[in-house]
Amino acid sequence: MNLLSDRILNMSTSATLAMAAKARELKAEGKDIIGLSLGEPDFNTPDYIKDAAIQAINDNYSAYTPVDGYVELKDAIITKFKRDNDLDYVHSQIVVSTGAKQSLANLAAVLLNQGDEVILPCPYWVSYADLVKLNDGVPVEVPTTIATDFKMTPEQLDAAITPKTKMLWYSSPCNPSGSVYSKEELRALADVLVKHPNIIVVSDEIYEHINFSGEHASMAQFEDMYDRTVTVNGVSKAFAMTGWRIGYIGGPEKIARACNKMQGQITSGANCIAQRAVITALNESPSKVQFMIDEFKIRRDLVLDLLKDIEGFKTNIPEGAFYVFPNVSYYFGKTLRGTTINNASDFSLYLLEEALVATVDGGAFGNPECIRISYAASQEQIIEAIKRIKAALS
Ligand code: PMP
Ligand code: GLU
């Protein structure tokens, strides 16, 4: 008998976290690694948010919080949903969790039965497929290419739906492609979904504010989708708060209650100090963090510009998040400095070893022809990293 369960043995390790750990390890050995693997803003959490946390400690916030979050935090989330997304939620529709990752894990656990299918437009965020599989669901990958800006078309969605389809999961802005679905594009997907009233939509909007195209659209804004859409969001990205671990959902009350029940047995409420800080983060205007978004846009342009000079990198123009997802299949079958590159995993490893630049294999996001480059790094690091990549490939 195995010591470990089939459940954990069958699960993949998070490729983003594995690459970040590997980069850290090599750095500790003294190697000059530039980490472009992790989706983590390189800014500090803004002072007004830190001050709220310090205040909370001094005010003796230390006890368990309600499992689904402080009422004041739910108020702030309700305000945020109305202000930024024109979405109306009440307290019983909101659940605060230990990161959006836990929000997603809760949703998979409370919604999936054995064999239920979840449509994942590909590329998708690294944890979606494993969270689905962990809960006995079946990921149904819908491949997209640069030709459609890595977006799923309504025809593709229609073709992927079967009697077993339980959910559609996607992120917009998308990690890893940076693609942003416009309101019209979401409406076209909704037009397919209205014919299948039992399909639940999980709309991961954690990169909402990191959007260079202007408008952010939410699936739940459509009246005919509101009752079966769960909107997932969090503070990790736009507020540079990855380690504070706060995410949240707004959605149908029945689903929110189930997530609350699940979390009550697994983690209880999220960290009390972090929750108090997030009340401030969400109540303040998002314009307070615009400086980070402006900087991400400068870096996006910089990366695209520098990559143009490297043979064999094909990219879309990412309109949001902080990633580029170049197709590097040009290099497959080629031998570089004695190493044969057969896929994106080999390519990413080659860049780590030869250029000392950490990226992530696109296979982890369901597209083995691409790699993901995170530009949540300084302009100097980006310039140096791409210089090294170019040299390693020349
Ligand atoms: N969704 C997407 C698309 C992400 O990129 C991330 C990044 N970690 C998450 C969810 C989870 O975020 P967190 O758990 O830090 O809130
Ligand atoms: N979401 C980030 C990324 O994609 C953080 C890592 C993770 O949570 O997996 O790199």
Task: Give the tens place of pLDDT for each residue, 235-280.
Answer: 999 999 999 999 999 999 999 999 999 999 999 999 999 999 999 9
DSSP annotation of 183 reads H
My answer on whether 11 and 131 are in the same domain is: no
Residue 39, ligand 2, Cβ within 6 A: yes
What tens digit of pLDDT does each residue of 297-332 get? Answer: 999 999 999 999 999 999 999 999 999 999 999 999
Domain termination residue (choose one: 285, 306, 335):
285
Is the pLDDT at 34 greater than 90, yes or no? yes
Residue 14, ligand 2, Cβ within 6 A: yes
My answer on whether 244 and 96 are in the same domain is: yes
Q: Mapping DSSP to helix (H, G, I), strand (E, B) and coil, where does residue 124 land? A: coil
Q: How many angstroms separate the CA atoms of 302 and 362, rounded?
A: 21
**pLDDT of 84:** 97
Ligand 2 atom closest to Cα of residue 175? 4
Q: Mapping DSSP to helix (H, G, I), strand (E, B) and coil, where does residue 53 land? A: helix
Q: How far does residue 180's CA lie from ligand 1's centre (Å)?
A: 16
Please choose from 180, 237, 322 the residue to mutate so as to test ligand 1's pocket, defined by most ligand atoms within 8 A of CB.
237
User: Cα–Cα distances in Å, from 44 out to 35, 50, 162, 296, 299?
Assistant: 17, 10, 45, 14, 17
Nearest CA to ligand 2 atom 5: 39
My answer on whether 99 and 247 are in the same domain is: yes
DSSP annotation of 123 reads S
> What share of the chain has pLDDT > 90, as a percent?
94
My answer on whether 68 and 213 are in the same domain is: yes
Nearest CA to ligand 1 atom 7: 39
Q: How far does residue 17's CA lie from ligand 2's centre (Å)?
A: 7
Whether 270 maps to a domain, the answer reads yes
Strand partners, 167: 118, 200
Q: How far does residue 127's CA lie from ligand 2's centre (Å)?
A: 8
Q: Mapping DSSP to helix (H, G, I), strand (E, B) and coil, where does residue 199 land? A: coil
Please choose from 16, 36, 359 the residue to mutate so as to test ligand 2's pocket, defined by most ligand atoms within 8 A of CB.
16
Tell me the pLDDT of the chain averaged across its residues.
96
My answer on whether 350 and 256 are in the same domain is: no
Whether 322 maps to a domain, the answer reads yes
Whether 63 maps to a domain, the answer reads yes
Please choose from 19, 40, 359 the residue to mutate so as to test ligand 2's pocket, defined by most ligand atoms within 8 A of CB.
40
CATH number at residue 274: 3.40.640.10
The pTM of this model reads 0.96
Least confident of 27-36, 83-92, 160-169, 230-239: 27-36
**pLDDT of 20:** 87
My answer on whether 70 and 23 are in the same domain is: no
Q: Which domain holds residue 255?
A: 47-285
Q: How many angstroms separate the CA atoms of 129 and 120, rounded?
A: 8
My answer on whether 353 and 221 are in the same domain is: no
My answer on whether 254 and 381 are in the same domain is: no
Residue 345, ligand 2, Cβ within 6 A: no
What tens digit of pLDDT does each residue of 371-384 get? Answer: 999 999 999 999 99
Q: How far does residue 336's CA lie from ligand 2's centre (Å)?
A: 29
Domain termination residue (choose one: 285, 317, 338):
285
Whether 234 maps to a domain, the answer reads yes
Whether 1 maps to a domain, the answer reads no
Domain termination residue (choose one: 238, 260, 285):
285
Q: What would the DSSP string read from start to end of 137-157?
A: -EEEEEE--GGGTT---HHHH
My answer on whether 192 and 239 are in the same domain is: yes
Ligand 1 atom closest to Cα of residue 102? 14
Please choose from 11, 13, 17, 359 the residue to mutate so as to test ligand 2's pocket, defined by most ligand atoms within 8 A of CB.
17
Ligand 2 atom closest to Cα of residue 101? 8
Is the pLDDT at 22 greater than 90, yes or no? no
Ligand that lies nearest to the alpha carbon of residue 120, given by its number in the listed order? 1
CATH number at residue 34: 3.90.1150.10
My answer on whether 182 and 317 are in the same domain is: no
Q: How far does residue 153's CA lie from ligand 1's centre (Å)?
A: 24
My answer on whether 18 and 116 are in the same domain is: no
Whether 163 maps to a domain, the answer reads yes
My answer on whether 88 and 207 are in the same domain is: yes
For the chain, the domain total comes to 2
